[in-house]
Amino acid sequence: MTQILTVTLNPALDIAASAPRVVPGIKLRCTSETREPGGGGVNVARAISQLGGHARAVVALAGPNGMALETLLRGRNLDLIRVEAPSETRHSFAVTDEQSGEQYRFVMAGPDWTEAHLTTVLQTIQTEAPDDALVVFSGSMPPGAPVGFLPRACEALGTRRVIIDTSGAHLTFQASGPAPTPHVLRMDSHEAMTLSGKPLSTRDESVAYAEVLRRKGAGRIVIIARGKDGSVMACPNGHWHVNAANQRVVSAIGAGDSFVGGFTLALSRGEDPQEALRHGAAAASAACLSEGTQLCLPEDFETLLPQTKLTRI
């Protein structure tokens, strides 16, 4: 089985609590807090582990928040490769208004990275990932990382298959098709609509835009998630749609990371992109049935996989 390495340069210690009402101007008396590990690559590695696979997780950590986050990750038996972040690991916090059920989420920016730190982490990835490994860059890129960092990483990693699921300026730059082309680029429907300047209201429109990105060189395979309508994929073997098999949503937190986990795990086991797409969609649907940050539970994945259907567009 091909080895998987996930990369999280801007992880977060996620803190959550609730209050009777969230209103301005007064002290909000909150419940006891919960603490969870956060960051796209961290969640992808967790999802892979929960689905019975194995991924090594490169995570940048520093300071007391980093120590707390490392303890949580090791408590989940992740195969952690710690790299030193430039300064204190960020935290995020969420407060739920108990009366309305609405959640207010506050996400800190994270430490500024220098060229020296970026070079060191790339060297670590090159050392830890075999030449045929799957390397997943998932989540936001940290402050200080130039928009050309991901193409630079693809070049440095050579024959390793790189999977990118990021956001903001880094996604915009990747969508322009800088060389070298990563193996996979994934985005959600809102990101695709923003990049294309079009509503992309149908599957045909979404997959047509995915093909535009593929031909530009944004990814050999381009996947666009369409929420409750599943996902579409443009790849060398054609255009595909896969449904979202869940009939209800308990929580959508971690659905995208679970998709990447299921998709990458299937690729590592030698499945073709179409079957990997089906596995990713089933993992995302399973995550929607889990409370909070539990991601995709294996029993839900096994139930939903047979209900996850692939259709050529």
Per residue in 35-78, pLDDT (tens digit) is 889 899 999 999 999 999 999 999 999 999 999 999 999 998 89
The boundaries of the domain holding residue 301 are 4-312
Q: Which residues in the chain show pLDDT less than 70?
A: none
pLDDT at 291: 78
The predicted structure's pLDDT at residue 4: 98
Which token pair is 299? Answer: 């029993």
Number of folded domains in the chain?
A: 1
Tokens of residue 263, six digits: 């998709």
Distance separating alpha carbons of residues 155 and 247, to the nearest angstrom: 42
How confident is the model at residue 292, as a pLDDT?
Answer: 73
Q: What is the pLDDT of residue 252?
A: 82
pLDDT computed for residue 20 by the predictor: 96
Task: Give the pLDDT score at 248.
Answer: 87
How far apart, in Å, are the Cα atoms of 223 and each of 121, 155, 164, 192, 261? 27, 21, 10, 10, 14
Q: Are 175 and 164 in contact (CB under 8 A)?
A: no
Identify the sign of the CA torsion 170, 174, 179, 181.
positive
| CATH number of the domain within which 195 lies | 3.40.1190.20
What pLDDT is recorded for position 118? 97
Judge if the upstream peptide bond of residue 11 is cis by omega within 30 degrees of 0.
no
What pLDDT does 101 receive? 85
Rounded distance, CA 308 to CA 73, Å? 31
Annotated active-site residue in 14, 165, 188, 257: 257
Instruction: Record the pTM.
Output: 0.94
Q: Are β-strands 221-225 and 184-188 bridged in parallel, bridged antiparallel, or unpaired?
A: parallel
Q: Is 257 a catalytic residue?
A: yes
Round to whole Å and give the CA distance between 293 and 251: 8
Q: What is the largest CA-CA distance in the chain?
A: 58
